[in-house]
Structure 1
Amino acid sequence: MQQLTVAQIGPQLAQWRAEGRQPVLLDVREPWECATASLNEPSLATLAIPMQEIPSRLAELPRDEPILALCHHGMRSLQVAMFLDRQGYPHVYNIMGGIDAWSHLVDPSVPRY
């Protein structure tokens, strides 16, 4: 069995900025979830692609930028991050706790659902 290494980060975008990296936020939630709550980070490029559509939309994902996968609580995004790792994407990260943790720990103006 092969082990996959998908680095997980907490919802602390400031750390990425301090390192001079420009990650792409990959929001894998359903459209209704994105309409309910989204991150208020204008400096962060965001792609909203539901989890089930990822395999058919791989061409939309950059291979040369870090990809931060996000969902509601971090489980779907972890599955997507592992899938992308297997597809050869070199810099994929899962945001632990998802948008719920982001709302709780980083930006309380993001609605919780």
Structure 2
Amino acid sequence: MTARPLAIEVEELARLRAGPDAPVLLDVREPRELAICRFPDSLDIPMGSLPGRLAELPADRPIVVVCRSGARSMQVTRWLRAQGRDDVSNLSGGVLAWAERIDPSWQSY
């Protein structure tokens, strides 16, 4: 695994998603939040369920962790790194920043 930055900005995620080696998006929000807006190709595992579902995370691709504002996803990013996953980054500002700076059609909440 290649070490990744602890956090990335939404512009960097947009660039990475457009390339051939797009990271896995791990969305740690709750189902009620996902119903408002979500990345169509994300791996959706609520933060509280993650410890029991680690086997679902691909070992061969980098991961960007996403939540509403970047706070929960930073906790998850740090926790996954403590588990030995140096290829995990947090999306700074979360879906709020994505809606503001990349895709204003997303509903904010």
Report the TM-score, using the length of structure 1 for normalisation.
0.84
Q: Is the 8 A contact 2:27 2:67 kept in 1?
A: yes
The CA RMSD over aligned residues, in Å, is: 1.7
Q: 1:25–1:109: structure 2 CA closer, same or farther, 3 Å change rule?
A: same
Q: Tell me, what secondary structure is at the counterpart of 1:54?
A: helix
Q: Deviations over 1:60-112 (max 9, x none)?
A: 00122110100000000000001111111131010000001100000011100
Q: For residue 19 of structure 1, report the CA deviation from its aligned partner.
A: 6.0
Q: Is the 8 A contact 2:65 2:91 kept in 1?
A: yes
Q: 1:111–1:17: structure 2 CA closer, same or farther, 3 Å change rule?
A: closer
Report the TM-score, using the length of structure 2 for normalisation.
0.87
Distance in 2 separating the partners of 1:47 and 1:19? 18
- Does residue 59 (structure 1) correspond to residue 55 (structure 2)? The answer is yes
Which residue is equivalent to 2:30?
Answer: 30
1:34-113 to 2 correspondence within 5 Å?
34-39=34-39, 45-113=41-109
Q: Is the 8 A contact 1:25 1:67 kept in 2?
A: yes
Q: Is the 8 A contact 2:6 2:77 kept in 1?
A: no
* Aligned pairs, number: 105
Distance in 2 separating the partners of 1:36 and 1:76? 17
* Equivalent AA in structure 2 for residue 103 of structure 1: A
* Equivalent AA in structure 2 for residue 33 of structure 1: E
Distance in 2 separating the partners of 1:19 and 1:37? 23
